[in-house]
Amino acid sequence: MVSGTFGNLNVNRNDQHCMPVALTTAVNLSEMKTSNNPAETLVAFSIGSGIGMTIYDPISSVGGLLNFMLPSSTTIESARIKKYPFMFADTGIPAFLSTLEVMGARTERMKVVIAGGARVLNQTGVFNVGRHNYQATRLILSGYKLDIHYEDIGGFHSRTLKLNIGSGTSTIHYPDQRETKI
């Protein structure tokens, strides 16, 4: 389920005025998308206990969004399901970083934003998948010496996360219409 826009291959242009047409690309559950198209905005809608992660390199203007649901592929027995690397933090984050690097992003310049990891009321301990997702994220990113630039984690509401490739701005939207720009 990997997809991305490389170069200007997917840029829609208005031929008359040569103006780039804004393009919004949904990043569904267990997907990641990367882009260097300045007219493109990547968006992961309604993130619950899973985590949405945007990464942007301001020098190469390459960015991407990963939308994973679970902390570890090792807890799932089905080999078939393990074929979805972006479903899990342990397989999704490394593959996400590799794809960005191939596109010209450099780890030391990456700005990381994460949102999600919500929980149902009274959901604690082993049942708090949101918390486990967050812990797995921190652990994996620390292995790459990557800091989290901004995080909005936990609580019991869903979030929508966007990354505008042109500006490098991440935006977190809440169901009550509030939003935070990073």
Binding site for another protein (CB under 8 A): 28-30, 45-50, 69-70, 75-78, 80-81, 84, 87, 116, 118-127, 129-130, 156-158, 175-176
Given the complex with another protein, which of 82 and 167 has the nearer CB atom? 82
Q: Shortest Cβ distance from residue 60 to another protein (Å)? A: 31
Given the complex with another protein, which of 63 and 116 has the nearer CB atom? 116
Given the complex with another protein, which of 104 and 175 has the nearer CB atom? 175
Q: Shortest Cβ distance from residue 79 to another protein (Å)? A: 12
User: Are the beta carbons of 87 and 68 closer than 8 angstroms?
Assistant: yes
The total of other beta-carbon atoms located within 10 Å of residue 176's CB is 6
Which residues, other chains included, contact 155 with Cβ-Cβ below 8 Å and sequence gap of 6+?
118, 119
DSSP state of 70: B
Given the complex with another protein, which of 51 and 62 has the nearer CB atom? 51
Q: Which residues of 115-126 are buried (b: 16+ CB within 10 A; e: fewer)?
A: bbbbbeeeeeee
Given the complex with another protein, which of 135 and 167 has the nearer CB atom? 135
Give the type of residue at 56: Y
Q: Shortest Cβ distance from residue 182 to another protein (Å)? A: 20
Q: Shortest Cβ distance from residue 149 to another protein (Å)? A: 23
Query: Distance between CA atoms of 82 and 175, rounded to whole angstroms?
Result: 31
Beta bridge partners of 172: 161, 180
Q: Shortest Cβ distance from residue 151 to another protein (Å)? A: 17
Q: Shortest Cβ distance from residue 168 to another protein (Å)? A: 25
Given the complex with another protein, which of 19 and 139 has the nearer CB atom? 139
> How many Å separate Cα 60 from the centre of its chain?
18
Nearest CA to 63 out of 111, 31, 21, 23 is that of 111
